[in-house]
Structure 1
Amino acid sequence: MGSTAEIRPKAEAIPYRGKPLPNVPDDLVVPDVLQLDCDEKLWVPQAPDVWFRPLLFHVSQGYFVNILRVRRSGILSRHRHSGPVCATTLKGRWHYLEHPWWATEGSFAFEPPGDIHTLEVPEGVEEMITLFHVTGAYIYVDPDGHPLGVEDVFSKLESARAHYEKVGLGGDYVNQFIR
Protein backbone atom coordinates (compact mmCIF):
# COMPACT_ATOMS: atom_id res chain seq x y z
CA MET A 1 0.00 0.00 0.00
CA GLY A 2 1.59 3.29 -1.09
CA SER A 3 1.38 6.71 0.45
CA THR A 4 -1.89 8.56 -0.07
CA ALA A 5 -0.71 11.88 1.32
CA GLU A 6 -1.08 14.20 -1.62
CA ILE A 7 -2.54 17.58 -2.43
CA ARG A 8 -5.88 17.28 -4.16
CA PRO A 9 -8.02 19.88 -5.92
CA LYS A 10 -10.52 21.82 -3.78
CA ALA A 11 -13.36 20.02 -5.58
CA GLU A 12 -12.15 16.79 -3.94
CA ALA A 13 -12.14 18.29 -0.43
CA ILE A 14 -14.70 15.97 1.12
CA PRO A 15 -14.68 15.50 4.91
CA TYR A 16 -14.88 12.05 6.42
CA ARG A 17 -18.49 10.85 6.46
CA GLY A 18 -18.08 7.57 8.32
CA LYS A 19 -19.04 6.72 11.85
CA PRO A 20 -16.70 8.28 14.44
CA LEU A 21 -14.40 5.91 16.27
CA PRO A 22 -15.58 5.21 19.83
CA ASN A 23 -14.06 6.97 22.82
CA VAL A 24 -12.00 9.46 20.81
CA PRO A 25 -11.70 12.70 22.81
CA ASP A 26 -12.20 16.09 21.24
CA ASP A 27 -9.26 17.82 19.58
CA LEU A 28 -7.47 20.45 21.64
CA VAL A 29 -6.47 23.71 19.99
CA VAL A 30 -4.87 26.48 22.06
CA PRO A 31 -4.73 29.66 19.96
CA ASP A 32 -1.85 32.13 19.96
CA VAL A 33 0.61 30.05 22.00
CA LEU A 34 3.50 31.89 20.38
CA GLN A 35 2.09 35.23 21.51
CA LEU A 36 4.46 35.20 24.47
CA ASP A 37 3.37 38.54 25.91
CA CYS A 38 -0.12 37.18 26.68
CA ASP A 39 -2.15 37.83 29.82
CA GLU A 40 0.08 37.24 32.86
CA LYS A 41 -2.71 35.26 34.52
CA LEU A 42 -2.07 32.42 32.06
CA TRP A 43 1.47 31.89 33.42
CA VAL A 44 1.59 29.60 36.46
CA PRO A 45 4.36 30.45 38.95
CA GLN A 46 6.76 27.58 39.52
CA ALA A 47 9.65 29.26 41.38
CA PRO A 48 10.92 32.84 41.75
CA ASP A 49 11.14 34.28 38.20
CA VAL A 50 10.01 30.93 36.69
CA TRP A 51 6.55 30.25 35.22
CA PHE A 52 4.87 27.73 32.95
CA ARG A 53 1.92 28.06 30.61
CA PRO A 54 0.06 24.76 30.25
CA LEU A 55 -1.00 23.60 26.79
CA LEU A 56 -1.94 19.96 27.48
CA PHE A 57 -2.29 17.65 30.47
CA HIS A 58 -2.71 14.12 29.13
CA VAL A 59 -3.53 12.38 32.39
CA SER A 60 -4.29 8.92 30.98
CA GLN A 61 -0.94 8.70 29.18
CA GLY A 62 1.12 10.56 31.78
CA TYR A 63 2.53 13.50 29.85
CA PHE A 64 2.17 17.25 29.65
CA VAL A 65 3.08 20.01 27.23
CA ASN A 66 3.85 23.50 28.45
CA ILE A 67 5.85 26.61 27.76
CA LEU A 68 8.47 27.37 30.41
CA ARG A 69 9.47 31.02 30.95
CA VAL A 70 12.53 31.93 33.02
CA ARG A 71 13.47 35.55 33.75
CA ARG A 72 16.73 35.06 35.63
CA SER A 73 20.09 33.49 35.06
CA GLY A 74 21.41 30.63 37.15
CA ILE A 75 20.65 27.02 37.94
CA LEU A 76 17.01 26.12 37.50
CA SER A 77 16.97 22.46 38.49
CA ARG A 78 18.79 19.15 38.49
CA HIS A 79 16.56 16.27 37.50
CA ARG A 80 16.21 12.82 36.01
CA HIS A 81 13.57 11.94 33.43
CA SER A 82 11.43 8.83 33.75
CA GLY A 83 10.32 9.27 30.12
CA PRO A 84 11.43 11.12 27.01
CA VAL A 85 11.31 14.91 26.76
CA CYS A 86 11.24 17.10 23.66
CA ALA A 87 12.11 20.80 23.86
CA THR A 88 11.91 23.65 21.35
CA THR A 89 13.59 26.88 22.41
CA LEU A 90 11.49 29.88 21.49
CA LYS A 91 13.58 32.65 23.07
CA GLY A 92 16.97 32.95 24.76
CA ARG A 93 19.27 30.03 25.41
CA TRP A 94 20.04 27.40 28.04
CA HIS A 95 22.04 24.24 28.51
CA TYR A 96 22.73 21.33 30.82
CA LEU A 97 25.95 21.37 32.80
CA GLU A 98 26.47 17.69 31.96
CA HIS A 99 26.29 18.11 28.15
CA PRO A 100 28.30 20.13 25.61
CA TRP A 101 25.33 21.34 23.54
CA TRP A 102 23.37 24.57 23.91
CA ALA A 103 19.66 25.02 23.28
CA THR A 104 19.43 28.30 21.40
CA GLU A 105 16.45 30.14 19.94
CA GLY A 106 14.86 27.97 17.26
CA SER A 107 16.59 24.74 18.32
CA PHE A 108 15.04 21.37 19.15
CA ALA A 109 16.35 18.96 21.79
CA PHE A 110 15.42 15.36 22.58
CA GLU A 111 16.20 14.10 26.07
CA PRO A 112 16.06 10.33 26.59
CA PRO A 113 14.53 8.63 29.64
CA GLY A 114 17.01 8.21 32.46
CA ASP A 115 19.10 11.24 31.54
CA ILE A 116 20.18 13.27 34.59
CA HIS A 117 21.10 16.89 34.02
CA THR A 118 21.29 20.34 35.59
CA LEU A 119 19.56 23.14 33.67
CA GLU A 120 21.35 26.48 33.57
CA VAL A 121 20.25 29.77 32.06
CA PRO A 122 23.51 31.69 31.49
CA GLU A 123 24.34 35.25 32.49
CA GLY A 124 23.14 37.83 29.98
CA VAL A 125 19.94 35.96 29.08
CA GLU A 126 17.09 38.19 30.20
CA GLU A 127 14.38 35.72 29.28
CA MET A 128 14.42 32.04 28.27
CA ILE A 129 11.23 30.54 26.85
CA THR A 130 11.05 26.88 25.83
CA LEU A 131 8.18 24.62 24.81
CA PHE A 132 8.53 21.27 26.59
CA HIS A 133 6.73 17.98 25.91
CA VAL A 134 7.38 15.90 29.04
CA THR A 135 6.47 12.22 29.27
CA GLY A 136 6.55 10.73 32.74
CA ALA A 137 8.04 12.57 35.68
CA TYR A 138 10.89 14.85 36.60
CA ILE A 139 12.68 13.38 39.59
CA TYR A 140 14.60 16.20 41.23
CA VAL A 141 17.93 14.95 42.57
CA ASP A 142 20.95 16.18 44.51
CA PRO A 143 24.43 16.18 42.90
CA ASP A 144 24.81 12.48 43.76
CA GLY A 145 21.48 11.46 42.24
CA HIS A 146 19.49 11.04 45.47
CA PRO A 147 15.80 11.93 44.94
CA LEU A 148 14.55 15.21 46.42
CA GLY A 149 11.13 15.53 44.82
CA VAL A 150 8.91 14.55 41.93
CA GLU A 151 6.91 16.54 39.41
CA ASP A 152 4.53 14.97 36.90
CA VAL A 153 1.34 15.65 34.95
CA PHE A 154 -0.75 15.43 38.12
CA SER A 155 1.32 17.83 40.22
CA LYS A 156 1.54 20.29 37.29
CA LEU A 157 -2.23 20.06 36.82
CA GLU A 158 -2.95 20.76 40.49
CA SER A 159 -0.49 23.65 40.52
CA ALA A 160 -2.22 25.18 37.49
CA ARG A 161 -5.68 24.62 39.00
CA ALA A 162 -4.69 26.38 42.24
CA HIS A 163 -3.11 29.28 40.35
CA TYR A 164 -6.11 29.86 38.09
CA GLU A 165 -8.41 29.81 41.12
CA LYS A 166 -6.18 32.35 42.89
CA VAL A 167 -6.01 34.79 39.94
CA GLY A 168 -9.77 34.76 39.36
CA LEU A 169 -9.99 32.57 36.25
CA GLY A 170 -11.47 29.76 38.35
CA GLY A 171 -10.06 26.33 39.08
CA ASP A 172 -12.09 24.85 36.22
CA TYR A 173 -10.17 27.01 33.72
CA VAL A 174 -7.50 24.30 33.63
CA ASN A 175 -10.01 21.66 32.50
CA GLN A 176 -9.72 22.82 28.88
CA PHE A 177 -6.14 21.47 28.81
CA ILE A 178 -6.97 18.00 30.17
CA ARG A 179 -7.24 15.02 27.85
Structure 2
Amino acid sequence: MTRPDAQAIPYQGPPLPSVPPDLVVANILDLESFDKRYWVPQAEGVWFRPLLFNVSQGYFVNLLRVRRSGILSRHRHTGPVAATTLKGRWHYLEHEWWAEQGSFSYEPPGDIHTLEVPDGVDETIVLFHVTGAYIYVDPLGEAIATEDVFSKLATAKEYYKSIGLEGYEQQFIR
Protein backbone atom coordinates (compact mmCIF):
# COMPACT_ATOMS: atom_id res chain seq x y z
CA MET A 1 0.00 0.00 0.00
CA THR A 2 1.32 3.43 -0.93
CA ARG A 3 1.01 6.12 1.71
CA PRO A 4 -0.72 9.27 0.43
CA ASP A 5 2.24 11.41 1.57
CA ALA A 6 4.70 9.30 -0.46
CA GLN A 7 3.29 10.29 -3.86
CA ALA A 8 5.51 12.26 -6.22
CA ILE A 9 3.84 15.56 -5.40
CA PRO A 10 5.91 18.46 -4.07
CA TYR A 11 4.90 20.21 -0.89
CA GLN A 12 2.09 22.65 -1.68
CA GLY A 13 1.94 24.71 1.51
CA PRO A 14 3.51 28.05 2.35
CA PRO A 15 7.25 28.21 3.05
CA LEU A 16 8.25 27.98 6.68
CA PRO A 17 9.40 31.28 8.20
CA SER A 18 13.12 32.08 8.44
CA VAL A 19 14.30 28.97 6.59
CA PRO A 20 17.38 29.78 4.50
CA PRO A 21 17.68 28.37 1.00
CA ASP A 22 19.28 24.99 0.40
CA LEU A 23 22.96 24.92 -0.51
CA VAL A 24 24.36 22.47 -3.04
CA VAL A 25 28.03 22.50 -3.99
CA ALA A 26 28.45 20.22 -6.99
CA ASN A 27 31.28 17.80 -7.68
CA ILE A 28 33.15 18.06 -4.37
CA LEU A 29 34.67 14.62 -4.91
CA ASP A 30 36.11 15.67 -8.27
CA LEU A 31 39.06 17.17 -6.42
CA GLU A 32 40.88 18.43 -9.50
CA SER A 33 37.87 20.19 -11.07
CA PHE A 34 37.79 23.09 -8.61
CA ASP A 35 39.24 26.31 -9.82
CA LYS A 36 42.52 26.49 -7.86
CA ARG A 37 41.63 30.04 -6.80
CA TYR A 38 38.82 28.70 -4.58
CA TRP A 39 41.33 27.05 -2.20
CA VAL A 40 41.98 29.55 0.60
CA PRO A 41 45.57 29.55 1.89
CA GLN A 42 45.69 28.68 5.59
CA ALA A 43 49.40 27.99 6.19
CA GLU A 44 52.39 26.96 4.10
CA GLY A 45 51.28 23.93 2.09
CA VAL A 46 47.76 24.01 3.62
CA TRP A 47 44.51 25.31 2.07
CA PHE A 48 40.79 25.03 2.75
CA ARG A 49 37.85 25.02 0.34
CA PRO A 50 34.68 26.36 2.02
CA LEU A 51 31.48 24.38 1.58
CA LEU A 52 29.32 25.90 4.35
CA PHE A 53 29.63 28.64 6.96
CA ASN A 54 26.67 28.17 9.31
CA VAL A 55 26.91 31.37 11.33
CA SER A 56 23.58 30.88 13.13
CA GLN A 57 24.53 27.46 14.55
CA GLY A 58 28.28 27.97 14.88
CA TYR A 59 29.77 25.39 12.54
CA PHE A 60 31.57 25.15 9.23
CA VAL A 61 32.20 22.47 6.63
CA ASN A 62 35.22 22.54 4.38
CA LEU A 63 37.76 20.52 2.49
CA LEU A 64 41.26 20.74 3.93
CA ARG A 65 44.09 20.19 1.42
CA VAL A 66 47.58 19.50 2.74
CA ARG A 67 50.59 19.25 0.44
CA ARG A 68 53.34 18.85 3.01
CA SER A 69 54.27 16.48 5.77
CA GLY A 70 54.78 17.23 9.43
CA ILE A 71 52.79 18.74 12.28
CA LEU A 72 49.89 20.93 11.19
CA SER A 73 48.45 21.96 14.54
CA ARG A 74 47.79 21.05 18.15
CA HIS A 75 44.26 21.93 19.18
CA ARG A 76 41.23 21.30 21.36
CA HIS A 77 37.65 21.25 20.09
CA THR A 78 34.79 23.03 21.83
CA GLY A 79 32.31 20.95 19.85
CA PRO A 80 32.29 17.68 17.95
CA VAL A 81 34.15 17.27 14.66
CA ALA A 82 33.43 14.74 11.92
CA ALA A 83 36.03 14.04 9.23
CA THR A 84 36.08 11.95 6.07
CA THR A 85 39.48 11.39 4.48
CA LEU A 86 39.16 11.66 0.73
CA LYS A 87 42.83 11.33 -0.14
CA GLY A 88 46.08 10.67 1.69
CA ARG A 89 46.73 9.82 5.29
CA TRP A 90 46.96 11.58 8.69
CA HIS A 91 46.70 10.94 12.40
CA TYR A 92 46.94 12.46 15.86
CA LEU A 93 50.09 11.88 17.88
CA GLU A 94 47.94 11.20 20.96
CA HIS A 95 46.02 8.30 19.37
CA GLU A 96 46.94 5.00 17.73
CA TRP A 97 44.47 5.20 14.85
CA TRP A 98 45.26 6.47 11.35
CA ALA A 99 42.79 8.16 9.02
CA GLU A 100 43.38 6.97 5.48
CA GLN A 101 41.52 7.44 2.21
CA GLY A 102 37.93 6.36 2.75
CA SER A 103 38.09 6.67 6.55
CA PHE A 104 35.56 8.46 8.73
CA SER A 105 36.52 9.80 12.14
CA TYR A 106 34.60 11.46 14.95
CA GLU A 107 36.36 13.72 17.45
CA PRO A 108 34.55 14.51 20.70
CA PRO A 109 34.45 17.98 22.27
CA GLY A 110 37.33 18.63 24.63
CA ASP A 111 39.79 16.23 22.99
CA ILE A 112 43.28 17.71 22.54
CA HIS A 113 45.40 16.34 19.75
CA THR A 114 48.34 17.07 17.47
CA LEU A 115 47.62 16.56 13.76
CA GLU A 116 50.42 15.07 11.68
CA VAL A 117 50.69 14.16 8.02
CA PRO A 118 53.50 11.58 7.70
CA ASP A 119 56.48 11.74 5.38
CA GLY A 120 55.87 10.24 1.97
CA VAL A 121 52.30 11.54 1.62
CA ASP A 122 52.17 14.00 -1.28
CA GLU A 123 48.63 15.23 -0.66
CA THR A 124 45.95 14.74 1.96
CA ILE A 125 42.39 16.01 1.52
CA VAL A 126 39.86 15.74 4.33
CA LEU A 127 36.22 16.81 4.48
CA PHE A 128 35.75 18.36 7.93
CA HIS A 129 32.49 19.29 9.68
CA VAL A 130 33.59 21.45 12.62
CA THR A 131 31.11 22.47 15.31
CA GLY A 132 32.28 25.19 17.68
CA ALA A 133 35.88 26.33 17.72
CA TYR A 134 39.40 25.04 17.50
CA ILE A 135 41.51 26.29 20.38
CA TYR A 136 45.13 26.03 19.32
CA VAL A 137 47.32 25.11 22.27
CA ASP A 138 50.96 24.69 23.19
CA PRO A 139 52.29 21.27 24.31
CA LEU A 140 51.03 21.93 27.87
CA GLY A 141 47.51 22.84 26.70
CA GLU A 142 47.77 26.62 27.11
CA ALA A 143 45.61 28.44 24.55
CA ILE A 144 47.50 30.41 21.91
CA ALA A 145 44.84 31.06 19.25
CA THR A 146 41.21 30.34 18.39
CA GLU A 147 39.46 29.58 15.10
CA ASP A 148 35.70 29.31 14.55
CA VAL A 149 33.12 29.81 11.82
CA PHE A 150 33.51 33.61 12.05
CA SER A 151 37.30 33.65 11.76
CA LYS A 152 37.18 31.08 8.91
CA LEU A 153 34.63 33.24 7.12
CA ALA A 154 36.76 36.36 7.64
CA THR A 155 39.84 34.58 6.27
CA ALA A 156 37.93 33.42 3.19
CA LYS A 157 36.40 36.87 2.65
CA GLU A 158 39.78 38.61 2.84
CA TYR A 159 41.43 36.08 0.52
CA TYR A 160 38.70 36.15 -2.13
CA LYS A 161 38.71 39.95 -2.11
CA SER A 162 42.50 39.97 -2.57
CA ILE A 163 42.27 37.87 -5.74
CA GLY A 164 39.35 39.71 -7.31
CA LEU A 165 36.57 37.35 -6.22
CA GLU A 166 35.02 39.73 -3.71
CA GLY A 167 31.82 38.29 -2.27
CA TYR A 168 32.49 34.72 -3.47
CA GLU A 169 32.26 33.42 0.12
CA GLN A 170 28.71 34.78 0.51
CA GLN A 171 27.20 31.79 -1.30
CA PHE A 172 28.39 29.48 1.50
CA ILE A 173 26.83 31.42 4.39
CA ARG A 174 23.69 30.04 6.01
Say yes or no: TM over 0.5. yes
Q: Distance in 1 between matches of 2:44 and 2:66?
A: 9
Please state how far the C-alpha of 1:26 moved relative to its aligned partner.
Answer: 0.3
Q: Which string of whole-angstrom CA distances, capped at 9 and with x for unpartnered residues, describes residues 8-29 of structure 1?
A: 6xxx311111121111110011
Residue 31 (structure 1) shift: 1.1
1:40 corresponds to which of 12, 36, 48: 36
Distance 1:98 1:46 in 2: 23
Aligned to 1:21: 16
Instruction: Provide TM-score, normalisation by structure 2.
Output: 0.95
2 CA distance for matches of 1:163 and 1:32? 22
Distance in 1 between the 2:31 and 2:55 partners? 25
Q: Counterpart of 1:66?
A: 62
Aligned match of 1:138 in 130, 134, 148?
Answer: 134
Give structure 1 stretches of 5+ with no counterpart: none
Quick one: percent identity of the two aligned structures?
71
Map 1:4-153 to 2 at 5 A: 12-37=7-32, 38-153=34-149
Provide the aligned C-alpha RMSD in A. Answer: 1.2
Per mean C-alpha deviation after superposition, the further-off stretch among 89-98 and 12-21 is 12-21
Query: Residue by residue, what CA displacement relative to the aligned partner does 1:20-75 show, whole Å, maximum 9, x if unpaired?
Result: 11111100111111121121100000000000000000001110000000000000
2:170 maps to a residue whose letter is N
Q: Scaled by the length of structure 1, what TM-score is found?
A: 0.92
- Deviation string for 1:101-152 (max 9, x for gaps)? 0000001000000000000000110000000000000000000000010000
**1:168 and 1:93 mapped to 2: Cα distance?**
33
Alignment of 1:168 with 2:168, yes or no, is no
Superposed structure 1 runs of 4+ greater than 2 Å apart: none
In structure 1, how many angstroms separate the alpha carbons of the residues matched to 2:29 and 2:47?
Answer: 15
